[in-house]
Structure 1
Amino acid sequence: MVEIVRSSDLVLVGFLQSLLENANIPVLVADNHMSALEGMIGAFPRRILVPEDHAAQACRLIVDAGLEAELRHG
């Protein structure tokens, strides 16, 4: 699994998860429980992970959605 997005924005994370799942890309949203423990103040961002063999397609979808700035590079 590779991390493609890290964000504290719950709406963005939900949107990206839905976008990727609708394209049949397996998605794991990591750190959901840690975020709940810290009281939802945004101190611990959630990470969107996809299988390495789906990463390029997932990134293309995110770019096409106009959210290129959210991608983790490097």
Structure 2
Amino acid sequence: MRELIVTNDPVLISYAEALLKDQGIKAVVFDRNISLMEGSIGAFPRRLVVLDELWARGAEILKQAGLGQWVIGNEIK
């Protein structure tokens, strides 16, 4: 698994997750539960991850949706 996005913004995570799902890419949100337990103070960011072999495709989908600045890594230009 490889991180696509790391953020404290639950709306951004949900939006990115929906974009990927619409394109047939299953994404998993890590640290969702710890974020709930902390009381939503934003101390622990959530991580949106995909399978390694789907990372480049997922990154391109997010970039085309205007979320390129949030994507972890330098592989997309």
Q: Which runs of 4+ in 1 moved over 3 A?
A: none
- Counterpart for residue 23 of structure 1: 23
Instruction: Please list the CA deviations of residues 1-60 of structure 1 after superposition, one character each: whole Å capped at 9, or x if unmatched.
Output: 101110100110000000001111011000000000100111101000000111010000
TM-score under structure 1 normalisation? 0.95
Tell me which residue corresponds to 2:65: 65
Q: Which amino acid aligns with 2:48?
A: I
Q: CA RMSD in A?
A: 0.9
| Fraction of identical pairs, as percent | 34
Size of the aligned set, in residue pairs, is 74
List runs of 5+ in structure 1 lacking aligned partners.
Answer: none
2:40 alignment counterpart: 40
Segments of 5+ residues of structure 2 without an aligned counterpart are none
